[in-house]
Amino acid sequence: MKSMLGNSSMTKLLLRWLSKVAPGVYHVSPECLGNSRYSINEMRRFPKDPAFLRENIHTVLETIFYVRASFFRPKIGDIRICQPPMIWHYNLTGPEAIMANEGNCGALSSLLNYLLKGKYTEVGFIACSDEEGGHVFNYVKQDDKYYFIDLLNYLYGSKAMEHSSTMIYEATSLEAYAAYYQQRSKKKIKLVVSYQSEHVLPMGRKKNEPIMYFPVEKPINLLLETPETGIVARFYDEKTERVCINKG
């Protein structure tokens, strides 16, 4: 009698069952979103030219290979612009991140978005806030499923929040993943939103206030909020004048 594992359908079902981490949430490999036409060694010869990379990189796996091939360096901090009573936190755009070849989670998320937007059904951002600060990473939608990618996990020398370094999460919905993310994170996640944009949106904060502000004209999808702690999402008019600029 043949082994049950000899049956490809049974093997797939078993692997699917083993990869389940929560209701509607699974660990998957980057290949489920397309393979790479290049090796990492071949990508080391790619120029740091945003237009060239956008034309030649088409999958999540190719994006992962590129940030490793280019030795993209993790760099803590964002650009803080004071517009009283608000302090806006900005990140590098995708092209800026490519040319700098270094950046934080926001820069990396904008890089992936720049390279892959239009190559999947949806490409967007997941932004979250805890009691100490925030984090942002990407999602893509394909075949009515959502996939969540944190490129920080793939950088050499990165001390990312999570190190399932060869894994991507698949979920049946954005909300299902937000609930799982709050549950499994080592930090106390208080707010999770998703949105689509050309780059990571600026996020504003007022002194001694836990509320996360977004520019008024930018639509966001609220996935998780904890009003009992005071950490909620609100909108504020992003002014054009800049009172002061500093990195932090």
pLDDT tens readout for residues 19-75 = 788 999 999 989 999 999 999 999 999 999 999 999 999 999 999 999 999 999 999
What pLDDT shows up at residue 12?
61
Q: Strands (DSSP E) along the chain, which ranges?
A: 20-22, 25-28, 73-74, 79-83, 86-90, 102-103, 122-130, 134-142, 145-149, 168-171, 189-195, 203-206, 212-215, 221-225, 233-236, 244-247
Distance in angstroms (rounded) separating the CA atoms of residues 107 and 76: 10
Q: How many CA atoms lie within 13 A of 40 on its CB side?
A: 11
What pLDDT shows up at residue 162?
45
Place of tokens 């959502």: 146
- Name the pTM for this structure: 0.87
Distance in angstroms (rounded) separating the CA atoms of residues 90 and 81: 8
What pLDDT shows up at residue 52?
99
Kindly give the parts of the chain with pLDDT less than 50.
1-2, 4-5, 160-165, 240-247
What pLDDT shows up at residue 36?
96
Closest by alpha carbon to 247, among 91, 85, 110, 84?
A: 91
What pLDDT shows up at residue 2?
47
Domain coordinates in residue numbering, the chain: 24-247
Give me the sheet containing 212-215, strands edge to edge. 233-236, 212-215, 203-206, 86-90, 79-83, 244-247
Distance in angstroms (rounded) separating the CA atoms of residues 217 and 205: 17
What pLDDT shows up at residue 16?
62
Report DSSP letters for 26-95, one per residue. Answer: EEE-GGGG---SS-HHHHTTS-S-HHHHHHH--SHHHHHHHHHHTTPEE----EEEEETTEEEEE---HH
Distance in angstroms (rounded) separating the CA atoms of residues 36 and 198: 24
